[in-house]
Amino acid sequence: MKNIAVLVSGEGTNLEAILEAVDEKEITGKVVMVISDQAKAHALERAKNHGVKAQFVDPRFYESRKEYDRALVKLLKNEAVDLVVLAGFMRLLSPLFIDAFPLRIMNIHPSLLPSFKGLDGIGQACRYGVKVTGCTVHFVEEGLDSGPIILQEAVPVIQRDTVETLHQRIHAAEHRIYATAIDLFCRDMLKVEGRRCLIID
C-alpha cells in the first residue's frame, strides 16, 4: 500500500475529498501525513478529524525556500512517503524538492492545461470567453503547471456563469478526478513516456 502525504495551505476541501475517498476504499493508499505552511489552515483540523498526522511547518524559521523544502523532504522521507499530493499548497516547490520525488508529486489545476496556467485559472477562462474549461491533474515538474497530464475533466461554461458559480462546478470535478488519479498511482497504473502519461492495466 502506497503512503501519501498532502501539502495544504488553506481550507482543505480537496484534502477532505481525498481523505473520504481513502476511507471509502476508493483510493488504495494511505494518507500518512498532512503538512501546511499556515498555522491556522483548516485543512490541519480536517486531517486530525480523520486520524491523520497533521503538522504546521513555519517557513519563517528557514533562511530560504530551498532550506524550507529540505526540511519538508526530510519529514516526508521519514514517513516513507511514496506520493506527494498538492491540495491548495500556495508555495512554489524548489528543484531540490521536485528532484527528491521525481514523477511522484501531483497537483490539480482549475483549467484544461495547457490553457490558463498560473493563478486565477477560472477567472482567466471567464475573461477569455471560452465555452468549455475544466480541471487537470498533472505530475509536477520545474515548469509552471507543465508536467505530464494524468487526467482531465471538461466543465461547460454556462452563459450566465460568474467566477464563483463556475468555481463550484470545477471544484466538484476536481474532487472526482483527483481521487481517481491518486488511486491509479497507488495501483501502479500510470506510466510516463515523454510528455504522455499512459494508464496501463
Which one from 109, 138, 171, 175 is the annotated catalytic residue?
109
Let me know how long the chain is.
Answer: 201
pTM to 2 decimals?
0.95
- Whether 171 has a pLDDT exceeding 90, the answer reads yes
- Whether 201 has a pLDDT exceeding 90, the answer reads no
Active-site residue flag, 109: yes
CB atoms within 10 A of CB 166: 20
Is residue 181 exposed (0-12), middle (13-18) or buried (19+ Cβ within 10 Å)?
A: buried
Residue 102: asked if its preceding bond is cis (omega within 30°), the reply is no
Helix or strand holding residue 96 (H, E): helix 95-100
Of all residues in the chain, what percent carry a pLDDT higher than 70? 100
- What sign has the CA pseudo-torsion 53, 36, 74, 100? positive
Average pLDDT on 180-200 reads: 96
Residues 6 or more apart in contact with residue 33 via CB below 8 angstroms: 5, 6, 52, 53, 54, 55, 75, 76, 79, 81
Cell of 170: 470545477
Domain ranges of the chain: 1-101, 107-201
Angle of CA points 143, 146, 147, to nearest 5°: 105
- Whether 123 has a pLDDT exceeding 90, the answer reads yes
To the question of domain 1-101 being in CATH 3.40.50.170, the answer is yes
Q: Note the pLDDT tens digit of each residue in 24-73.
A: 999 999 999 999 999 999 999 999 999 999 999 999 999 999 999 999 99
- Whether 15 has a pLDDT exceeding 90, the answer reads yes
Q: Give the right CATH number for 107-201 from 3.40.50.720, 3.40.50.170, 1.20.120.80, 3.40.47.10.
A: 3.40.50.170
Q: What is the distance between the alpha carbons of residues 52 and 49, in angstroms, rounded to a whole number?
A: 7
